[in-house]
């Protein structure tokens, strides 16, 4: 039951990410904007990442029946999602990857060291940092433009970060409900990112060459 | 007030908005008028106007003394779409 829920949640993540990615791609095709290109790569990567995990689990449970590829699929999917989170952070222009303050370093560095025995958890910690960066930058933008939709995006990125953190923390309680909570949090996060996009009028957006 | 960097797309958006909302007469806006409104150099605006005319977003009309520019129906549609995409990017705190 829990396994089926994980598959469904991952496929929902795939769908939502794909919709946002397609929207960004239409924008890029029509305007040639590098920002929209980066957002296209970001959301298509996030979507593919969710898709790899969902379809991987599905094929394992229905066709392969090995029960051993779970970790590999998980690592691959999360790795692809991390590329997406990187491009969201990169769109804001990463000024410096690590904070200069040694007090902050003492918080950030353990995120890389503690899960040193697992590639999956290293990737999760990188995703977490990138998402926290994206959240902070988006909150800063909200301070400037005061748009409600920006709050949705900041919340979405924040929930994705929380989801990654919970997924990373599930190393302490493997096979627990924590992983399902992590995926659910990430789906709610993606949903929050989708809210402002759903309000953008989609009519009249069919153009050929970019300018 | 601190100067804000404008992207190529936002300059195009400004030009199209000017030709749609702020044309001084029915024949369209002159290059000088657009330079003043969009606040860019002659060299740069000439290239942009050429591209916009080629793409069918602006219509070039010849008047007694100089070329004038009017927004086309395709340009109006593009401007509407551009605003949608700009809104999309702005929700992420980004600019297109």
* Other residues' Cβ atoms within 10 Å of the Cβ of residue A25: 17
**Nearest chain B residue to A92, by CA:** B94
What value does the mean pLDDT of chain A take?
81
Cα A84 to the chain's mean position, in Å? 6
In a domain, A210, yes or no: no
The first and second tokens of residue B68, run together, are 């004038």
In a domain, A207, yes or no: no
Per DSSP, the three-state class of A102 is: helix
The answer to whether A184 and A202 are in contact (CB under 8 A) is no
| CATH architecture of the domain with range B8-91 | Orthogonal Bundle (1.10)
The verdict on A46 touching B (C-beta cutoff 8 Å) is: no
Q: What percent of chain B has a predicted confidence (pLDDT) above 90?
A: 39
In a domain, A176, yes or no: yes
Whether residue B65 is predicted with pLDDT greater than 50 in this model: the reply is yes
In a domain, A93, yes or no: yes
A91 to chain B: which residues are within 8 Å by CB? 92, 94
B89 to chain A: which residues are within 8 Å by CB? 27, 33, 35-36, 39
User: Which range of residues forms the domain containing residue A126?
Assistant: 2-198
Residue A136: give its domain's CATH number: 1.20.1070
User: Which of A76, A78, A56 minimizes the C-alpha distance to A3?
Assistant: A56
**Nearest chain A residue to B53, by CA:** A211
Whether residue A15 is predicted with pLDDT greater than 60 in this model: the reply is yes
Per the CB < 8 Å rule, is A33 touching B9?
A: yes
The first and second tokens of residue A68, run together, are 């051993």
Which are the contacts of A194, defined by CB distance < 8 A and separation ≥ 6?
A16, A19, A20, A156
Alpha carbons B96 and B90: distance in angstroms, whole number: 8
Which pLDDT does position A144 carry in this prediction?
A: 86
User: Chain B closest CA to A39's CA: distance in Å?
Assistant: 9
End-to-end CA distance of chain A: 50
Which pLDDT does position A98 carry in this prediction?
A: 44
pTM of the model: 0.78
Per the CB < 8 Å rule, is A200 touching B55?
A: no
* Other residues' Cβ atoms within 10 Å of the Cβ of residue A91: 23
Order of strands, edge to edge, in the sheet holding B67-71? Answer: B29-30, B67-71, B58-62
The verdict on B89 touching A (C-beta cutoff 8 Å) is: yes
Per the CB < 8 Å rule, is A31 touching B95?
A: no
User: Chain B closest CA to A81's CA: distance in Å?
Assistant: 18
In a domain, A26, yes or no: yes
Please indicate whether residue A64 or residue A31 has the higher confidence score (pLDDT).
A31
Per the CB < 8 Å rule, is B93 touching A33?
A: no
- Segments making up each domain of chain B, as ranges: 8-91
B91 to chain A: which residues are within 8 Å by CB? 147, 149-150, 152-153, 196-197
B7 to chain A: which residues are within 8 Å by CB? 33
Per DSSP, the three-state class of A188 is: helix
pLDDT band at A158 (very low <50, low <70, confident <90, very high): very high
Q: Give the angle A138-A144-A145 at the CA atoms, nearest 5°.
A: 85
Bridge partners (DSSP) listed for residue B62 = B67
pLDDT tens-digit series, residues A102-153: 555 544 554 555 444 467 777 888 899 999 999 999 999 898 888 888 999 9
Average pLDDT over every residue of A49-58: 92
Q: Which of B78, B88, B96 sits opposite A23 (nearest CB)?
A: B88
């Amino acid at each position: 039951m829990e396994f089926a829920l994980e598959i469904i949640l991952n496929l929902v993540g795939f769908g939502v990410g794909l919709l946002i990615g397609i929207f960004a791609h239409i924008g890029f095709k029509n305007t040639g904007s590098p920002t929209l290109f980066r957002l296209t790569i970001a959301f298509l990567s996030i979507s593919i990442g969710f898709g790899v995990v969902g379809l991987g689990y599905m094929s394992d449970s229905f066709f392969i029946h090995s029960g051993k590829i779970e970790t590999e699929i998980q690592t691959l999917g999360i790795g692809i999602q991390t590329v997406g989170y990187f491009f969201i952070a990169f769109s804001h222009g990463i000024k410096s990857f690590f904070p200069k303050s040694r007090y902050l370093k003492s918080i950030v560095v353990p995120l890389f060291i503690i899960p040193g025995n697992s590639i999956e958890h290293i990737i999760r910690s990188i995703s977490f940092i990138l998402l926290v960066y994206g959240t902070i930058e988006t909150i800063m933008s909200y301070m400037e433009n005061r748009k409600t939709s920006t709050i949705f995006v900041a919340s979405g990125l924040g929930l994705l970060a929380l989801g990654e953190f919970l997924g990373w923390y599930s190393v302490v309680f493997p096979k627990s409900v924590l992983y399902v909570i992590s995926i659910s949090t990430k789906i709610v996060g993606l949903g929050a990112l989708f809210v402002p996009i759903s309000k953008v009028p989609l009519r009249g957006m069919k153009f050929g060459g970019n300018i | 007030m601190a100067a804000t960097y404008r992207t190529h797309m936002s300059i195009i958006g400004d030009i199209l908005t000017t030709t749609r909302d702020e044309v001084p007469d029915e024949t369209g806006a002159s290059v000088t008028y657009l330079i003043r409104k969009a606040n860019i150099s002659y060299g740069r605006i000439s290239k942009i106007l050429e591209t916009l005319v080629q793409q069918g977003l602006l219509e070039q009309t010849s008047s007694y003394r100089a070329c004038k520019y009017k927004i086309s129906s395709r340009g109006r549609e593009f401007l509407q779409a551009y605003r949608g995409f700009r809104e999309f990017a702005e929700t992420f705190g980004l600019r297109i």
